[in-house]
Amino acid sequence: MEKHCDTCAYLYQAKDRETVLPIRKLRQRCGNLAHNLSEYPSRDVEYRAILCISTVALEQINKYLSAKRKDEYQGEDNTITYTVRFPDGKEMDVKCCGCRDEASWTEAVLFDERGCQIACSDVEETFDGPWELEADGVLYITKIVVDQIEYSCLN
């Protein structure tokens, strides 16, 4: 067993198995609060972001989501994607995904710092959220706001 801090000795690898299990799954709670918050956040941590889009863009997305005829469909090769970045480096894409023979659908996808997908929402039929995804005990929330005077969309 190897220590990861002076407070505890919970970081270890299972060497008696064919494959070494990920350390984070075997690790118990450390008594060092700073260590827990930096590497293994508690479920109380959440990040919030505001995604501002124009009224015109939201109207077009809503038309794709409620399309009834072929000439109204977005098309399966067309995806509208908006991205927000959180303070810990994770990014959330909020997407309107097109279909060839039916109305579009929406989803949110969370990516880690290297661009690997780590969480995904269920398929939805609305774009305006809010979108909530959880990864590693952290809740990521994106609120969609239509570009209006009372909101600052520069953040």
Do 135 and 141 meet the contact criterion of CB atoms below 8 Å apart? no
pTM above 0.85, yes or no: no
d(CA 124, CA 104) in angstroms, rounded, equals: 9
> Distance of CA 1 to CAs 4, 16, 100, 133, Å?
10, 12, 55, 34
- What local confidence, expressed as pLDDT, does residue 21 receive? 33
Do 95 and 144 meet the contact criterion of CB atoms below 8 Å apart? no
The DSSP symbol for 72 reads: G
pLDDT tens, residue by residue, 70-109: 999 999 899 999 999 999 999 999 999 999 899 999 999 9
Beta bridge partners of 50: 143
- What local confidence, expressed as pLDDT, does residue 12 receive? 33
State the 10-residue block means of pLDDT for the chain, 155 residues long.
Answer: 41 34 36 46 78 94 96 93 96 96 96 96 94 95 80 49
The total of other beta-carbon atoms located within 10 Å of residue 104's CB is 26
Q: Which residue has the tokens 């990040």?
A: 47
Beta bridge partners of 145: 52
Q: Which residue has the tokens 């863009």?
A: 57
Where exactly are the structural domains of the chain?
1-40, 46-146
- What local confidence, expressed as pLDDT, does residue 10 receive? 35
- What local confidence, expressed as pLDDT, does residue 129 receive? 82
- What local confidence, expressed as pLDDT, does residue 118 receive? 96
Angle at 76 between CA 73 and CA 78, to 5 degrees: 85
